[in-house]
Amino acid sequence: MSDGTPQMQVEGSARDRQIVSARVIVTCPGRNFVTLRIETRSGIVGLGDATLNGRELAVASYLQDHVVPNLIGRDAGRIEDLWQFLYRGAYWRRGPVTMSAIAAVDVALWDIVAKLAKLPLYQMLGGRSREGALVYGHANGRDIAETSDEVRRYIEKGFLAVRAQCAVPGLPKTYGIAVGAKAYEPAESELPLETAWSTSKYLQIVPKLFEQLRVDHGNDIELLHDGHHRMTPIEAARLARDLEPYRLFWLEDATPAENQRSFEIIRRHSVTPLAVGEVFNSIWDCKHLISEQLIDYIRTTIVHAGGITHVRRLADFAGLHQVRTGFHGATDLSPVTMGAALHFDSWVPNFGIQEWMFHSQETEDVFPHDYFFRDGRLFCGESPGHGVSIDEKLAARYPYSPRQLPVARLPDGSMWDW
């Protein structure tokens, strides 16, 4: 009976769920986004984000050339089976390109299944654990005073948590700091911008920044900081210790984590809470970090780590070790990811915080959504699915524009981690 081809004869509601089309949409409303649109025979449309900043077309091709042909004719309701099919079936496991492509399929399918059930996505996961998700915004400035003013503006808007970054004196350009009046956007040129880095200069200014922020804004506001993988483990331990008096919510990406044991060194010296994982793409990248309780927050998010199906597994594993979620939410994650993440955040028992860098108005117009901000929290909407759609006509007006992330070099010219 079996000739090795997958069974595609389906009946009744399963027939309605058959995938009849899957398309990749690339658009650049201010910055590039890759979106997967899947449609079933009964006309239900699901959207998944596949954006990988600076490497967008690799994921678009992975989807278009290698994944889409496998989707046509399959039952959109078999989310788990399709996940396993794409993960195991590729033979080549993990990696940001593969896991972003799988995530796009996975989120689109969760969107479809929730729409079929006429339920908001959080309900499919087990329902709300909370109404809104605590979010943090990004304050940055050319010096400590400007950064402090920025923090004040966030507090005035109702934020309960703010990430603060300030320029490092002596360096022409610092990660996280906007140029002029434009909002900060890291991937700003066709080829990588070369930036200079000095950890010793950086380590001097950061404790002074947070000392001033506590003087100016008191102890009630939650403050966060992103080290962006620039420090060695022992330098990170020094900074984490120096920041202890200012009670950070977290110190993020203190050191690269390919070698997960690096975090043992930071832990040994400091009680500053640690967050890492925005560049991870699977549970295997953080298994030791979590099981050994070397971190407090895991930042790995839906778009870069295989979608809801995989990140749910990761979050459950983290919960066993009292590690909470703190999903990445920069502008390079599209509103589709933001919508899906907010449904996830509303459900996940071990929720910590959600990052939120505002999308530009052009992006908001291309991706209409029902999530909204109130009193320091983001709330997902109640419409069926993840609540984010795409205006394809408008999207078509913004063609792909090649951009890459910057690189960083030490004073002697050696390549460093950006």
Distances in whole angstroms, Cα of residue 96 to Cα of each of 5, 41, 49, 234, 386 = 29, 31, 13, 28, 23
State the catalytic residue, choosing from 62, 87, 122, 175.
Answer: 175
Are the C-beta atoms of residues 370 and 399 closer than 8 Å to each other?
Answer: no
Helix, coil or strand: residue 135:
strand
Q: Which is nearer to Co ion, 226 or 285 (CB)?
A: 226
What is the x/- site pattern for ligand EZ4, positions 24-53, by CB under 6 A?
-----------------------------x
Q: Which residues contact 410 (CB under 8 A, 6 or more apart)?
A: 196, 197, 198, 416
* Region near ligand EZ4 per CB under 6 A, out of 101-109, 312-320, 328-336, 361-369: 328-336
* Region near ligand EZ4 per CB under 6 A, out of 259-267, 308-316, 326-334, 365-373: 326-334
CA proximity to 239, closest of 261, 254, 250: 254
Q: Is 174 in the site for ligand EZ4 (CB under 6 A)?
A: no
What is the x/- site pattern for ligand EZ4, positions 265-304, by CB under 6 A?
-------------x--------------------------
State the catalytic residue, choosing from 225, 228, 304, 386.
Answer: 228
Q: Is 226 in the site for Co ion (CB under 5 A)?
A: yes
Q: Is 310 in the site for ligand EZ4 (CB under 6 A)?
A: no
222 binds, among Co ion, ligand EZ4, none (CB under 5 to 8 A by kind): none
Position among 332, 334, 337, 352 found at the interface with ligand EZ4 (CB under 6 A): 332
Position among 49, 222, 226, 235 found at the interface with ligand EZ4 (CB under 6 A): 226
State how beta strands 377-379 and 133-141 pair: antiparallel
Q: 106-120: string of b/e by CB count within 10 Å (b at 16+)?
A: bbbbbbbbbbbeebb
383 binds, among Co ion, ligand EZ4, none (CB under 5 to 8 A by kind): none
In angstroms, the CA 348 to CA 304 distance is 18
CA proximity to 30, closest of 392, 407, 397: 397
In angstroms, the CA 127 to CA 343 distance is 9
Does the annotation count 343 as an active-site position? Answer: no
DSSP secondary structure, 278-293, as one string: TT--SGGGTHHHHHTT
Position among 186, 352, 381, 385 found at the interface with ligand EZ4 (CB under 6 A): 186
Does the annotation count 175 as an active-site position? Answer: yes
- What residues make contact with ligand EZ4 under the rule CB under 6 A? 53, 186, 226, 228, 278, 328, 330, 332, 355, 405
